[in-house]
Structure 1
């Protein structure tokens, strides 16, 4: 009789554990982007598009919601690596105009923390390589292939500047930077392989499929129907490849 009771107790405990784990998994899968992250999506999307009128409106809303000036500025600085100096500088000019307009209305926006100076004096290439390995969740071994083999200089630029100089800055975390990057790539168009690569990185960093779908929904709601549809196809292909 005692053995039967023990077995029944073990079964109950296992069922409770399974239910808890399922609930946690479903909660993670259904988790939404934070309001802050949603504002990063719209700022990135309009900057990449060069839609400065809507960018101005998005910046006003983001600042009203508590995004700091330095966070907004960092998003725009980050974007130069993905959509070029012209789009990034136009975005920064738009932010400056928004801040001037708000100041004229007596609005005082929170500046936020400054970037912590990077103390690591080691090889930028090795630092960038380590950051990229963290983002991808796997070591970078073996001979160079593709663009890295054909144009080794640009591979060095990517490691030293993008993944060391930029990604090591601490105003935005890695997830914020990937949300910024993905939102820009979706709106640039014609860069599906890079989009899929960064979606994969986002999943590795802990963002969920639902959160990536929310990025696409926000872009669709803000006039990027065609771009969002392409993004959905890329995400669907990525998820299928992961589940194989």
Structure 2
């Protein structure tokens, strides 16, 4: 494969990436009927059972336990339905054992550094200074416990996160942060616009337009 072909491919989400976006989007808004359709599609295009489980579990950090649990229960029903039809889906690898429990805060801090490309320096500012426990939860749980689970890559996790935030109302600041992270770890503007095209299909054009406007703000800041 030559360099030009590689560049062209990076302008589009592949079938598995599109499925991650659709699954995350439908889980975020609690549309279980359409989520069921997207779960079937995800398995059909080659996502493993454990990869989809991981997306659904991660959802609780961004849209809450109820939506995450509803998604997991829906997935259980999908798997039973497919099993009844004689379909055997690939289980896939499980997460490697996470051993750095003592230094989870530092692990999370290092992961966040990799994602953003920016080294965090003290003193804390903003919400992390006002409510220091949220900084601990973010570092130790989200960016250590969850992001250290290697069933999904960091890029896949950010793709799922961006999809959720694009689907939800009132979270533009968080979407802007994660769009910047996504671009930093290799997602392209064209791929992100494709995410929002999927948002428009599943959620509506107005929500997709909001997400595209947030992306434009980031693009305008580039040198």
User: TM-score scaled by structure 1?
Assistant: 0.87
2:107 to 111, 127, 135: 127
Structure 1, unmatched stretches of 5+, are 1-19
Measure how far apart 1:66 and its partner are.
1.1
2:107 and 2:140 in contact (8 A); partners too: yes
1:95 to 59, 75, 83: 75
Measure how far apart 1:28 and its partner are.
5.5
For 2:195, the equivalent position in structure 1 comes to: 215
| 163-172 or 141-150: bigger deviation | 141-150
Are 1:79 and 2:59 counterparts?
yes
Measure how far apart 1:222 and its partner are.
2.4
1:154 to 134, 151, 154: 134
1:28/1:207 CA distance change after superposition, 3 Å: farther
Tell me the secondary structure at the aligned position of residue 54 of structure 1. helix
For 1:164, the equivalent position in structure 2 comes to: 144
Measure how far apart 1:228 and its partner are.
0.6
Cα RMSD, aligned residues only: 1.7
Give a deviation string over 1:85-121, Cα, whole Å, max 9, x none. 0000000000001001111111111111111111224
2:113 and 2:120 in contact (8 A); partners too: yes
- What is the CA–CA distance in structure 2 between the aligned matches of 1:181 and 1:121, rounded to whole Å? 24
Measure how far apart 1:131 and its partner are.
0.4
Larger helix fraction of residues: 1
User: TM-score scaled by structure 2?
Assistant: 0.95
Structure 2, unmatched stretches of 5+, are none
For 1:116, the equivalent position in structure 2 comes to: 96
1:28/1:132 CA distance change after superposition, 3 Å: farther
2:207 to 217, 227, 231: 227
**Runs of 4+ displaced beyond 3 Å:** none
For 1:191, the equivalent position in structure 2 comes to: 171
1:205 to 182, 185, 188: 185
1:28/1:148 CA distance change after superposition, 3 Å: farther
Are 1:35 and 2:15 counterparts?
yes
